[in-house]
């Protein structure tokens, strides 16, 4: 989907790395995926899947919507399935890995082969994709439903993920976090499409159930992949439950906010109409206080929510990588 409240994942991880007094555990952060981690790469390609426009970035320092820290190859609208990018013309995940290979060559030219190898081996790698595949190719546009049932399609996606991890591993990476699917049925975009009367809406449990099914498969798969890749460490990051907790129990986060009052529509636009990317623009109505919302637009969480998700990754997931070899 379109970029990019997503930079908060990158920003929080980088801030954590630079503020700790001890020597940083990771010399670099390498990122692949979709708009959940695209810092503005789509600004430089011919696609409508961009968010370098008002009101995106309203609450960021300098009020700039894109251009965040981190070595990120992610592209809004991308996915594991190359078919996902056919209409959007964004950077496929497989192409992102090729770009990473070019990055390594440049790194070797700067620090030498051995130091570059050490940096890549110790780097923190984050992969966040899959949502666009399921939404575009299965739930909303039945392209892949002509070939697969949901179980078959998730098997196809996870095979693509496994191939991706192996390619990244062959390039020298060893510590990899893979993010699961969010509660897709609770995205305002999906709820709007799922009801004849969009004002009478609630999470689509069938889509959430499918997302949970995919995540369970992913949890089982990662140790199997790790067993085949010596000295690797693969860790699952749950994007589903932390977001569901904020949707179902917003009162638990009142000490961090002015009180989350809205969990089913986006701050940008009415949230009832389908609003994201170019449809959420300087002409769109924007809520007074995004901190009272879970979602910024019809798909992406607000800065507050991304910060909570990033803190979860830092506190609960990153330490699991610290013990790798």
Please tell me which residue in 34, 78, 232, 300 is annotated as part of the active site. 300
Please tell me which residue in 75, 264, 297, 298 is annotated as part of the active site. 297
Please tell me which residue in 4, 6, 35, 232 is annotated as part of the active site. 35
297 is catalytic: yes
209 is catalytic: no
Contacts of 193 (CB under 8 A, 6+ apart): 140, 274
- Residue 284 tokens read as 């769109």
300 is catalytic: yes
What CA–CA distance (Å, rounded) separates 4 from 177? 20
Residue listed under structure tokens 């399609």: 153
The catalytic residue positions are 35, 297, 300
């Amino acid at each position: 989907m379109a970029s990019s409240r997503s930079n908060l994942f990158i920003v929080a991880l980088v801030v954590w790395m630079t503020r700790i007094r001890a020597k940083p555990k990771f010399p670099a952060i390498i990122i692949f995926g979709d708009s959940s981690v695209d810092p503005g790469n789509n600004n430089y390609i011919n696609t409508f899947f961009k968010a370098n426009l008002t009101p995106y970035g309203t609450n960021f320092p300098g009020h700039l919507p894109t251009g965040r820290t981190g070595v990120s190859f992610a592209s809004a609208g991308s996915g594991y399935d190359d078919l996902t990018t056919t209409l959007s013309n964004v950077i496929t995940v497989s192409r992102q890995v090729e770009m990473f290979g070019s990055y390594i060559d440049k790194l070797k030219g700067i620090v030498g082969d051995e130091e570059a190898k050490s940096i890549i081996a110790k780097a923190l790698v984050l992969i966040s994709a899959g949502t666009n595949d399921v939404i575009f190719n299965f739930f909303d546009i039945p392209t892949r439903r002509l070939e697969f049932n949901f179980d078959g399609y998730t098997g196809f996606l996870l095979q693509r993920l496994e191939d991706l991890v192996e390619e990244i591993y062959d390039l020298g990476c060893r510590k990899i976090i893979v993010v699961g699917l969010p509660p897709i049925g609770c995205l305002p975009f999906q709820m709007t499409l799922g009801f004849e009367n969009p004002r009478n809406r609630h999470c689509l449990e069938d889509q959430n159930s499918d997302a949970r099914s995919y995540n369970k498969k992913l949890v089982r798969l990662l140790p199997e992949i790790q067993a085949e890749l010596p000295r690797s460490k693969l860790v699952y990051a749950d994007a589903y439950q932390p977001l569901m907790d904020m949707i179902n129990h917003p009162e638990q986060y009142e000490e961090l906010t002015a009180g989350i009052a809205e969990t089913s529509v986006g701050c940008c636009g009415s949230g009832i109409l389908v609003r994201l990317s170019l449809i959420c623009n300087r002409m769109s109505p924007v809520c007074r206080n995004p901190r009272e919302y879970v979602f910024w637009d019809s798909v992406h969480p607000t800065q507050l929510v991304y910060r909570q998700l990033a803190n979860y990754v830092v506190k609960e997931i990153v330490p699991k990588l610290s013990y790798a070899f």
